[in-house]
Amino acid sequence: MKGINEIFSKNLNDLMRKHGENLSELSDRINVAYSTVSDWQHGKKMPRSGSLQKLADHYGVNISYLTSSHDENEELHRPKVKSLARRMDKLSDDDLDFINDLLDKFDK
């Protein structure tokens, strides 16, 4: 059975690859030291809760997605989800905030 560090590291690396993001870019975008993100990426350390939330927000996933095992992150392979992700990638931050607020209403 895989440990949480290994699971998180795999998920982080998968998300970085899918978003075409390298270690330096991620570090800058979430405002966390390069060496810290490197430790996460290599499974040496786990992020604290605030950093986990930054990562979840950055990638548009929830914390449990980052910390749980997936079969090749199955929800990202569904055609409708892939299509929406491609379309949403082109939206402005204001548009994304509006959509996020709208989706929050469905969660209640």
**pTM for the model:** 0.64
26-31: long-range contacts, CB 8 A cutoff, minimum separation 24: 26/58, 29/58, 30/54, 30/55, 30/58
Give pLDDT, residue 78.
61
From the CA atom positions of the chain, what is the Rg in Å?
Answer: 14
Give pLDDT, residue 70.
74
| Residues of the chain predicted below pLDDT 50 | none
